[in-house]
Structure 1
Amino acid sequence: MKSYTYILVFFLFQITVIAQDSISVVKKRIYKTEPLLGEKKPVIDGLINESEWDVVSWAENFIESQPDENTPPSQQTKFKILYDQKYLYVAYRCYDTAPEKIEKRLSRRDGFAGDRITLILDTYHDKRTAFSFTITAAGVKGDEFVTQNGDNWDESWNPIWYAASKIDSEGWTAEIKIPLSQVKFGKSKEQIWGLQVSRMIFRKDERSVWQRVPRDAPGFISEFGELHGLIDIESQKQLEIQPFAVTQLDTYPEEENNPFRDGTDFKLNGGLDAKIGITNDLTLDLTVNPDFGQVEADPAAIALDGFQVFFREQRPFFVENKNIFDYRFANGVDNLFYSRRIGRSPQGTVGENPISSSDPVNDEYIDSPVNTTILGAVKFSGKTKDGWSIGLLESVTAREVSKIEDDAGNKREAVVEPLTNYIVGRLQKDFNNRNSFIGGIFTATNRDLGDILNIDYDNSETDETSELTNLRENNLNLLRKSAYTGGIDFRHNWRNRKYFIEGNLVTSHVKGSKEAIKDTQESLTHLFQRVDASHVELDPDRTSLTGTGGKLVGGKSGGGNWRYEAGVFWRSPELELNDIGFLRQADDIRQFANIRYLFLKPTKFYREANIRANQFTAFDFEGNYNRIEYSLGGEINYKNNWWTEANFIHKPRIFTNTILRGGPRWRFSQENIGVLFFGSDRRKKFNFVMGHVNSWTRQNNFSFKRYVLRLNYQPFNSLSVSLNPEFEQNPNKTQYVTKEDFNGVSRYITANIDQQTLSASLRLNYSINPNLTIQYYGQPFISRGRYKDFNYVNNSIANDLNDRVTLFDQNQISFADDTYSVDEDRNGVVDYTFDNPDFSFVQFRSNLVVRWEYIPGSEIFLVWSQGITGDGDSSNHLFRGLNNQILDKQPENTFLIKATYRFVL
């Protein structure tokens, strides 16, 4: 602990210098464009040599933004903007006294590598959202939809537009042409848009901008200049149709006698995506039988705490405009809409076995779908001139069936996912000169389970009907029949957006059979059966649950060097969001406070730096004081662009209601965490990041050690390689194992686990040209856990670890045939048994994708995906487990060709 404290104090001492705290008032700049009147238009070739550009004057006098804000940049920049009834035209002149040093790095679209210039348009002029268009010196395009006043940049937005760049003796030039149908704006005689142009000189890591945005500004888009002169431009009702066709070949190890695993499968599929402009403000997106075959595989993960793992959305239909539907109501990833629920893996079982099992069950072989089929989805979204943000999404997923066949050739089917309808509606309204908004959200999930809400499966006369038997045997009766959530949210900014207050309120209502609601009450999210909880009670006769949650927070977001916020959020015990949202744990009330100090002016030692302190406390709805945590940390970016990040966390009180899975409240020993990361200049052809996280506790209750190394190398402009190995050690003397019965008394068994996890992700990106790229991603992953020193919980909230649990001695526990037998009272009779919990989970996933955008908006994908998932021998070394389970195994392969063509009508 002392070593981490010394490192942190030394690190913070480096950046604790006196910084100026002046607040500048910046005049808004205005650029006036002119229309193109003749038939002749600029040719988008990167050469600004057409006479049409002479209609308007150059916008000049850029100001440095980073690293030394409000100083003259090392190289100047200028631009022009023209328009007609269909397009916006922009020309750039980026001067450079050393053109041979201009970085011309190739990448896939949205790679944002090398020298570049960006046009950002706040077409709604709401001072919170904008459209961003980037062109690099190498001709690579990037486009993003910007929200939250510049805090969120969404690269998934892929409009059709045209760009070209050229390098000459004075630097480089670029031209772009943006169809007005690709951006949204209100109807008005003269449009006034927010405008910003930003240039990056890569070798200097220097940014300059047309409209100065002070480093202490409370936002980004709200500080833009303005574009005037757009007179009588007509609303462009967008109509795009993009059909696609997919051929897919799967190869895998053949399994003897398994009729569903003969070694190969072939599929031919097709579908349609469309984008229809209902008005110039609002767009209807729809997809029929969507295919997501080229999407990168999720990273491997294993969670011993039993909670679900959050994976980010990567499917284009759901990623685009996701900001409109986002409703994070508390902290972290909790959200009323988690799009990964749509198209999830089927939730039913076949007998007692998960449907993912390919092993024979009772001499039967099972062929189960990997994901639920999305029959179709439609999304209506946009923002009006009057400040209304509107989002409506509906999706229907198919009834999924597992095919089952035995050795005698007898066949049957089992429903493993019902027909399901999902709806999300989102609405927000700006007011108070765009400084405030109020909004709401509604979600609904409805499953076609039949009329099962009031059926008693143990006594019902209809229990023998095939439909109800299927529901019960495949655990579909544990699915909730319907789920609804709603919420309202608001934010108010004042004093030029320097101060804010925001909040939200959510409510949920779920309905289902008695079995479904009982299962919900007993789930790890709720645990109503907890033996020492007096504020919740398991009721097996309930058929619905209603809960609430919310947040209230206020603080200072801009102006000067200080930033701070404080607030509270809560999740009631009955709150349930996991049908279409994401909720890790209910029954939680938290207070938090955060403060940061920003060093805004660079010195001879650093470019920028900050220090921060955070604190929070947690309670449950019974009033139990469960947790308090303090942290102190900071970051510094040195003058040579190397950087350091350090953090120290102190947790003097840690109680949890979930670790014993329905057992009593549990206490962990006091914990301290040290975090130290540092890295080299990211601009260099070779750069690296090294980091270490070290957690330690009193009496060595548990610990966590994480070692991170990230290597990035770009040997030449068209090729980049990254390798990110990680190693984790997570020993724990009281890792939960199981619950057993001993003479009518519940025994909660824990043990000393030695868990080690090793992974390494490899990425290669090769760009033949800006429209033809090859990408590879691969990740081997292994996590191994070995258990020893088994014990049972004695006093779960005792301060001393030795009083918390009681170790079994060698006369009480024995091991044979992969089973532990316990004779707790030492009378020679086995009181209970449990399976050996040792594990070794091994996985390898990879994607090789060739992407060719043969015309703007239309693409061909060639994809090779490979994967292996299995259980290794926990007695092996980690590297031997990787060798035995990955290198020595035949992988499953998927070869896919996907072609799309975008019709713009």
Structure 2
Amino acid sequence: MQSSPNCKTQTVLSRAKKIKVLVLLVLSFTSVRAQEKKPIEKRVYTTKFLKDTTAPDIDGKLNDDAWNLVEWTGDFIEREPDENTPPTEQTKFKIVYDQKYLYFAFRCYDKDPKSIVKRLSRRDGFEGDWIEVNIDSYNDKRTGFSFTSSVSGVKGDEFISENGNNWDGSWNPIWILKTHIDEEGWTAEAKIPLSQLKFGNDKEQVWGLQVQRRFFRAEERSVWQRITQDAPGWVSEFGELRGLVNIEPQKQLEIQPFAVSQLKTYPKEAGNPFRDGNDTKINGGLDAKIGITNDLTLDLTINPDFGQVDADPAAIALDGFQIFFQERRPFFVENKNIFNYQFADGQDNLFYSRRIGRRPQGYPNTSSGEYVDIPDNTTILGAAKFSGKTKNGWSIGILESLTDKEFAKIDDNTNQREVLVEPMTNYLVARAQKDFNNRNSYIGGIFSATNRNLEGNQLNYLRKAAYTAGLDFMHNWKNRKYYVSGNIVASQVSGSKEAITRTQRELTHLFQRVDAGHVSVNENRTSLTGTGGKLEIGKSSVGNWRYFGFFSWRSPELELNDIGFLRQADDIKQIGILTHQTLKPRGAFRRINTRFEQMTTYDFDGNHNRTQYSLSSNANLKNNWFVSYQLEYKPRIFTNTVLQGGPRFRYSEEVINSFNLSTDSRKKIRFDSGLFSSQGKDNSFSYTEFNTGIAYRPINALTVSMYPTYSISKSKTQYVTQTNFGSTPRYIMADIDQRTLSASVRVDFNVNPNLTIQYYGEPFISRGRYKDFNRVTNPTADYFGDRIEVFNSGQISFDTTSDIYSVDEDLNGATDYTIANPNFAYVQFRSNLVLRWEYIPGSEIFLVWSQGTTGLGNPKADLFNSLDAQILGRKPENIFLIKATYRFLL
């Protein structure tokens, strides 16, 4: 006998209250018990100017007279795995400078030089033994420039932001590195142009400084300036570099022209004038970087080439929501931290750069016998970006871009015409932040504008203008032990009645929901205005325990998707998180991190939509294996979106288990495996994913890896479509069995640090089969079987010729409505073979061969057996590309 829904709800609420009380008690206890630690003394290194001494020759051997001007500094301390203990091997370094460059000398001792691991990789590979210097030339305690020297001579460089929480490897400065192995270990010399750094014009500079070494054989990290495992961040804890006197800020001026030649081949399509078997394209353009001041840089691009060497991963979303893809284009990636504005949680952001140059949003109306050719992307006529950070703590970023109008070509082999599918559009983003309170606090703002030049009524369904604005802040106190942060955003979109009506009906908003008491579609509106934001407070350092909680909201009319990313509006969320981390190795473990999380969500109609709890732990073993486990319980799951305009729908209670295991990444052979399992109450839905992988490095210059993934998704209430039974709406669902198989394959071969060959390939098949079609009857019932009514054999029939289901709901012998067969099979294969040669620092040649196929498969075919026939058996599309750049550093 089942208990009543009210009893169950009371039980869940009682459990939730007990858990919240327990968390509050733990937080109170840890707050009282936390001991204030004595601050760690800041180390100082004093460099000297190369006044009458010849600059060192960068050969990695440390035998130049210039190094005799300064003293060595060393006494490194271990940070990982056993913090504040002597490292296995010691390290020391020196720094000198002139008016143009900083020079670094590193001595990395090793009692067994023959065992030093010289692994080659592409730039930013960070393989084998390496030494790294971090420079906070702004001295803002939050950002820095990182230069990594691998013993094999491979360079790594990253821009550090968010006090070490974000390391951006897309930053590629010009600098010189050489290394050498001798009887004492290995040495490195680096020459870094001052033009690649940003600093003020004070007579005497004080910069933050940290040097870190990786001792590969023990997987050990040692540092010059001690930073504890429970420190509040990374950059804020640096030591100091002094002695920089009368250096002049270097106004950067770089010009990088490029030329691209491309040949595209594909299967010829009979009768289609746009698919004759091959296309060719030659393109050229110019990128420029101009230092307006040493702090602020103007980036310009003319006729940019935004081609991507790496393809987006294959994905399919049955819920209808847009899929977030990472930005890979260099112009947008550089200094992206300044423009970042994540205002709530997840991927929601006021600036999502992939909106610029997106695929055209329109599609022409065509007649029988007409063929269509639509550009893959919108042409970016030009873009400019003014960004940087001043010595006074101002972070400034302004980005302006203009995209051209795009036309679809339509041809019936007699006449050809063009139809506008994307209007000329201007995008503007302006961002500013100001540090104060000794860099412990900041306040900032952002503004964005999207304006489309809509012509006539061809694209009247697009919004004409979209504006967003936001304010954010953060404050740290008690030596950054505690913090509070928050933001608020506002948006306004405007356009024709058709465009704003369409916006109201989009999956992000769904104003047409039949049971919504707070929103409804108004077809006369020409604008929408919404708000959102977050307030967060927590403990971020000192001791084993950390915690934070936040409250966020997205109002129903909030709309960001013209130049930002917003998955869903109409949401109020509360989250509380408690974490525990070990600070010292314990037993068989190097480190263990444990996390408890509690979340509740509501909508603006007051509906309590979700409650969930999760407990997770990940551990690094002393043999350098990694293991993690997560348990998640969702006692309450309601969704406003699954019926896409229909009533609020309930899912059954859900329990999730996930487990992952990785072997030692330093070994020549590495294995990874994982299992993810989700189960709904009463077997109403389930999801299981198996992933595994192997990486093999037979020699230091070659790595081969393969990572296959197989998933099974089942649900007895998968949304299919909606229709009408007379004047009554019907929301149709079904029992789905979806199987997905994919496998990423990579081969990396490094001839030397400047010449690499990389291959990437990924076959992807997803097949879904539907059965037991049903209609929603009581969408919020406790038991899933009471939410739906399954059609019996007399009510539904299938016509194999038309591929359509006919439904006679009232069994009167007449068809009441039809359902198109939703079975699907989506297949895709993408691969890239790239040869990259950096023939001089900053200048490159790429040879690229991309191959791929995308299409619909056979839903009746077996998933594994059809891998060859549906992917490898298809004729692929090939792209052969040669790109050359030359970087002038003036």
Amino acid paired to 2:405: R
Q: Distance in 1 between matches of 2:594 and 2:36?
A: 19
Conserved? CA contact 1:21–1:561, under 8 Å:
no
1:692 equivalent in alignment to 2:675: yes
- C-alpha displacement of 1:375: 1.0
- What does residue 452 of structure 2 align with? 447
- Partner of residue 637 from structure 2, selected from 647, 650, 654: 654
Unaligned runs of 5+ in 1: 1-17, 353-360, 451-466
Amino acid paired to 1:229: G
- What does residue 174 of structure 2 align with? 160
- What does residue 156 of structure 2 align with? 142
Amino acid paired to 2:45: Y
- Structure-to-structure mapping, 1:388-399, within 5 angstroms: 388-399=394-405
Conserved? CA contact 1:295–1:315, under 8 Å:
no
> Tell me, what secondary structure is at the counterpart of 2:865?
helix
- C-alpha displacement of 1:20: 11
- Partner of residue 49 from structure 1, selected from 55, 58, 63: 63
> Tell me, what secondary structure is at the counterpart of 1:124?
coil
- C-alpha displacement of 1:710: 2.2
- What does residue 888 of structure 1 align with? 873
Q: Distance in 1 between matches of 2:95 and 2:730?
A: 74
The structure 1 segments of at least 4 consecutive aligned residues displaced by more than 6 Å after TM superposition are 18-22
1:387 equivalent in alignment to 2:370: no
Deviations 1:783-810 (A, max 9, x none): 0000000000000001111110000000
- What does residue 641 of structure 1 align with? 624
- What does residue 363 of structure 1 align with? 369
Conserved? CA contact 1:820–1:834, under 8 Å:
yes
- C-alpha displacement of 1:304: 0.2
Q: Distance in 2 between matches of 1:694 and 1:770?
A: 42
Amino acid paired to 2:425: T
Q: Distance in 1 between matches of 2:76 and 2:720?
A: 63
Q: Distance in 2 between matches of 1:860 and 1:679?
A: 36
Unaligned runs of 5+ in 2: 1-29
- C-alpha displacement of 1:887: 1.2
Please give the TM-score of this superposition, normalised by the length of structure 2: 0.95
Conserved? CA contact 1:366–1:404, under 8 Å:
yes
Amino acid paired to 2:473: F
- What does residue 125 of structure 1 align with? 139
Cα distance change, pair 249–142 in 1 and its aligned pair in 2 (3 A): same
Q: Distance in 1 between matches of 2:308 and 2:460?
A: 34
> Tell me, what secondary structure is at the counterpart of 1:884?
helix
Deviations 1:369-413 (A, max 9, x none): 001111111110000000000000011111001111103x11100
Conserved? CA contact 1:593–1:615, under 8 Å:
yes
1:115 equivalent in alignment to 2:129: yes
1:375 equivalent in alignment to 2:360: no
- What does residue 723 of structure 1 align with? 706
- Partner of residue 503 from structure 1, selected from 462, 486, 505: 486
- What does residue 436 of structure 2 align with? 431
- C-alpha displacement of 1:39: 5.8
Deviations 1:646-685 (A, max 9, x none): 0100000000000000000000000000011111111111
Conserved? CA contact 2:256–2:288, under 8 Å:
yes
Amino acid paired to 1:823: D
Conserved? CA contact 1:294–1:849, under 8 Å:
no
- What does residue 600 of structure 2 align with? 617
**Farther off after superposition, 605-614 or 302-311:** 605-614
- Structure-to-structure mapping, 1:1-16, within 5 angstroms: none
- What does residue 757 of structure 2 align with? 774
Amino acid paired to 1:849: V
- Partner of residue 799 from structure 1, selected from 782, 785, 798: 782
- C-alpha displacement of 1:25: 2.5
1:488 equivalent in alignment to 2:477: no
Amino acid paired to 2:300: L
- What does residue 732 of structure 1 align with? 715
- Partner of residue 200 from structure 1, selected from 200, 214, 226: 214
- C-alpha displacement of 1:362: 1.3
- Structure-to-structure mapping, 1:286-301, within 5 angstroms: 286-301=300-315
**Farther off after superposition, 878-887 or 483-492:** 878-887
Deviations 1:506-540 (A, max 9, x none): 00000011000000000000000000001001000
Conserved? CA contact 2:53–2:66, under 8 Å:
no
Deviations 1:700-735 (A, max 9, x none): 111110111121111110001121100111101000
1:676 equivalent in alignment to 2:687: no
Q: Distance in 1 between matches of 2:638 and 2:871?
A: 39
1:253 equivalent in alignment to 2:267: yes
- What does residue 871 of structure 1 align with? 856
Deviations 1:839-890 (A, max 9, x none): 0000001111100000000000000011100000000011233222211111
Q: Distance in 2 between matches of 1:746 and 1:94?
A: 74
**Farther off after superposition, 284-293 or 588-597:** 284-293
Q: Distance in 1 between matches of 2:264 and 2:872?
A: 19
> Tell me, what secondary structure is at the counterpart of 2:460?
helix
- Partner of residue 81 from structure 1, selected from 82, 88, 95: 95
Conserved? CA contact 2:309–2:834, under 8 Å:
no
Q: Distance in 2 between matches of 1:629 and 1:545?
A: 32
- What does residue 328 of structure 2 align with? 314
> Tell me, what secondary structure is at the counterpart of 2:685?
coil
- Partner of residue 556 from structure 1, selected from 539, 547, 554: 539
Conserved? CA contact 1:23–1:560, under 8 Å:
no
> Tell me, what secondary structure is at the counterpart of 2:431?
strand
- What does residue 767 of structure 2 align with? 784
- Structure-to-structure mapping, 1:229-248, within 5 angstroms: 229-248=243-262
Amino acid paired to 1:346: P
Pairwise CA RMSD = 1.2
Deviations 1:482-520 (A, max 9, x none): 000000000000000010000000000000110000000
- Structure-to-structure mapping, 1:272-291, within 5 angstroms: 272-291=286-305
Conserved? CA contact 1:22–1:560, under 8 Å:
no
- What does residue 39 of structure 2 align with? 25
- Partner of residue 276 from structure 2, selected from 259, 262, 285: 262
Q: Distance in 1 between matches of 2:869 and 2:598?
A: 46
Q: Distance in 1 between matches of 2:506 and 2:586?
A: 54
> Tell me, what secondary structure is at the counterpart of 1:879?
coil
- C-alpha displacement of 1:24: 5.0
Q: Distance in 1 between matches of 2:64 and 2:808?
A: 92
1:812 equivalent in alignment to 2:826: no
Q: Distance in 2 between matches of 1:53 and 1:248?
A: 49
Q: Distance in 1 between matches of 2:623 and 2:237?
A: 29
Conserved? CA contact 1:726–1:759, under 8 Å:
yes
Deviations 1:75-118 (A, max 9, x none): 00000000000000000000000111111000010011010000
Conserved? CA contact 1:197–1:209, under 8 Å:
yes
- What does residue 856 of structure 1 align with? 841
- What does residue 702 of structure 1 align with? 685
Q: Distance in 2 between matches of 1:772 and 1:126?
A: 36
Conserved? CA contact 1:342–1:397, under 8 Å:
yes
Q: Distance in 2 between matches of 1:516 and 1:904?
A: 48
Q: Distance in 2 between matches of 1:507 and 1:412?
A: 41
- Partner of residue 561 from structure 2, selected from 578, 587, 596: 578
- What does residue 831 of structure 1 align with? 816
Conserved? CA contact 2:362–2:422, under 8 Å:
yes
Deviations 1:527-575 (A, max 9, x none): 0000000100100010000000000000000011111001100000000
- C-alpha displacement of 1:366: 1.0
> Tell me, what secondary structure is at the counterpart of 1:227?
strand
Amino acid paired to 1:73: P
Amino acid paired to 2:438: N
Q: Distance in 2 between matches of 1:818 and 1:623?
A: 42
**Farther off after superposition, 641-650 or 881-890:** 881-890
